[in-house]
């Protein structure tokens, strides 16, 4: 029997027990004969506590979708529900915003070759990030492990093991080391966020040339250095590029700021210099030139729309020539500290 067990079915119970600050839903109390393939809810909004360990639960059914975001899941122990060890047909798992702890659950990928969506953001996972030794998971499309405490280096073959990824968010962790060139093998990758880590080294040329579908790239607040891309830049679909708060240097390649779809370019607190001979043709609307009076920085940010068009030179070593005659000058306060 295929059925759906939704958080919405527990909301009536919640309204009945309004005087209780915390509502505990014991999964052992599923009605006899109920064999769901989906255990899901948009979000528990932190008003439901889901306890799956005490008493222990050994489900007899197979799940395909598990979504228990922001549900104070196993709030007393912080462990991933042990019943998941026996699941092998999962396609979507969302355990975000639950303060779960322990190592990254590599076994979820190993046990579920059909897994396409895994969201573990905003928990307390620690240790290193390990992928299965064998490339048996070719279906993973979206992976979000942002805002945890995961450390170490990325596997050099991450792009080979997960070639079909479309979205990868590892921001706000403690990763270090270089960005593996094999990321360039992820030709379908559209969203890539490694911001707020300790990555170092240069951006691999294979990433700039291989990720042809990239639309959103954020590498902010790391220790990356070197030049920003090269002649091999092939991200023609790029719309948002954030490289700020690193140690890049040299000139800004025309292939970057002339990208026809680019909406936001952020390189604040980098050491970019050079000359932009003319503003891109697709910037065919009004601008504001902002020159903060304090905190000198070499920065250039181009915002097309949305948000409103904004070009910041901020005492940088970059000059734009010629400036449009109608370009207004707007002096403002300095940007906030990092």
Q: What is the CATH number of the domain that holds 185?
A: 3.80.10.10
Residue 173 lies in a domain: no
Same domain, 122 and 260: no
From the list 190, 192, 131, the residue with the least C-alpha distance to 162 is 131
pLDDT digits (tens, 9 = 90+) for 114-138: 999 999 999 999 999 998 877 655 7
Residue 247 lies in a domain: yes
Q: What pLDDT shows up at residue 90?
A: 94
Same domain, 145 and 197: no
Tokens of 13: 């119970």
Q: What pLDDT shows up at residue 313?
A: 40
Q: What pLDDT shows up at residue 44?
A: 55
In a 3-state reduction of DSSP, which class is residue 312?
strand
Residue 322 lies in a domain: yes
Same domain, 11 and 139: yes
Over the chain, what is the mean pLDDT? 73
Cis? peptide before 200, omega within 30° of 0: no
Q: Distance (Å, rounded) from C-alpha 170 to C-alpha 149?
A: 10
Mean pLDDT across the stretch 304-329?
41
Mean pLDDT across the stretch 52-71?
80
Chain centroid offset of residue 210 CA:
19
Domain-terminating residue out of 101, 136, 152: 152
Q: What pLDDT shows up at residue 222?
A: 97
pLDDT digits (tens, 9 = 90+) for 101-118: 999 999 999 999 999 999
Mean pLDDT across the stretch 189-202?
97
How would residue 159 be classed by pLDDT, with cut points 50, 70 and 90? very high
How would residue 290 be classed by pLDDT, with cut points 50, 70 and 90? very low
Same domain, 320 and 253: yes
Q: How many domains would you assign to the chain?
A: 2
Measured in residues, the chain has a length of 338
Q: What pLDDT shows up at residue 135?
A: 62
The DSSP secondary-structure symbol of 138 reads: -
Residue 162 lies in a domain: no
Domain-terminating residue out of 135, 152, 169: 152
215 has a pLDDT exceeding 80: yes
Same domain, 236 and 119: no
Q: Distance (Å, rounded) from C-alpha 89 to C-alpha 63?
A: 6
pLDDT digits (tens, 9 = 90+) for 6-26: 443 333 333 333 323 333 343
**Which of the residue ranges 32-41, 211-220, 236-245, 288-297 would you say has the lowest mean pLDDT?**
288-297
237 has a pLDDT exceeding 80: yes
188 has a pLDDT exceeding 60: yes
How would residue 39 be classed by pLDDT, with cut points 50, 70 and 90? low
Same domain, 193 and 274: yes
Residue 46 lies in a domain: yes
Mean pLDDT across the stretch 93-102?
92
Contact (Cβ atoms closer than 8 angstroms) between residue 50 and residue 72: yes
Q: What pLDDT shows up at residue 133?
A: 77
Same domain, 230 and 296: yes
**Which of the residue ranges 57-71, 161-175, 234-248 would you say has the lowest mean pLDDT?**
57-71
Q: What pLDDT shows up at residue 38?
A: 58
Q: What pLDDT shows up at residue 37?
A: 55
How would residue 258 be classed by pLDDT, with cut points 50, 70 and 90? confident
Q: Which residue has better confidence, 327 or 143?
A: 143
Mean pLDDT across the stretch 306-310?
38
Residue 165 lies in a domain: no
How would residue 275 be classed by pLDDT, with cut points 50, 70 and 90? low
Residue 175: which residues within 8 A CB-CB, separation 6 or more? 129, 150, 151, 152, 153, 154, 194, 197, 198, 199
pLDDT digits (tens, 9 = 90+) for 221-234: 999 999 888 777 88
Same domain, 253 and 323: yes
Domain CATH for 67: 3.80.10
Strand order in the sheet with 149-152: 101-103, 124-128, 149-152, 174-177, 198-201, 223-226, 247-251, 271-276, 317-320
């Amino acid at each position: 029997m295929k059925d759906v067990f939704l958080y919405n079915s527990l909301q009536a119970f919640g309204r009945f027990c309004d005087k209780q600050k915390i509502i505990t839903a014991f999964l052992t109390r599923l009605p006899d004969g109920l064999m769901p393939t989906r255990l899901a809810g948009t979000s528990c909004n932190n008003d439901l506590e889901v306890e799956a360990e005490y008493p222990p639960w050994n489900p007899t059914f197979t799940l395909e979708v598990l979504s228990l975001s922001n549900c104070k899941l196993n709030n007393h122990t912080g462990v991933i529900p042990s019943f998941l060890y026996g699941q092998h047909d999962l396609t979507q798992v969302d355990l975000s915003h639950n303060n779960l702890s322990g190592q990254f659950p590599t076994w979820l990928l190993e046990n579920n070759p059909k897994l396409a969506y895994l969201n573990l953001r905003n928990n307390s996972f620690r240790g290193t990030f390990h992928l299965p030794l064998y490339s048996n998971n070719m279906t993973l499309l979206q992976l979000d492990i942002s805002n945890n405490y995961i450390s170490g280096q990325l596997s050099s073959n991450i792009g080979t093991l997960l070639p079909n990824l479309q979205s990868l968010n590892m921001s706000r962790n403690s990763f270090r080391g270089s960005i593996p060139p094999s990321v360039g093998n992820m030709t379908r990758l559209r969203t890539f966020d490694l911001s707020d880590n300790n990555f170092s080294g240069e951006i691999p040329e294979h990433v700039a040339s291989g990720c042809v579908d990239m639309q959103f790239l954020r590498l902010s607040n790391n220790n990356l250095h070197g030049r920003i891309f090269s002649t091999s830049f092939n991200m023609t679909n790029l719309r948002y590029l954030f490289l700020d708060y690193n140690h890049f240097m040299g000139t800004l390649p025309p292939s970057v700021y002339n990208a026809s779809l680019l909406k936001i370019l952020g390189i604040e607190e980098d050491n970019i210099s050079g000359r932009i001979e003319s503003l891109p043709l697709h910037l065919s609307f009004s601008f504001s030139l902002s020159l903060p009076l304090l905190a000198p920085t070499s920065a250039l940010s181009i915002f097309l729309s949305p948000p409103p068009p904004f070009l910041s030179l901020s005492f940088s070593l970059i000059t734009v020539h010629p400036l449009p005659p109608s370009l207004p000058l707007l002096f403002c306060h300095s940007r906030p500290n990092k």
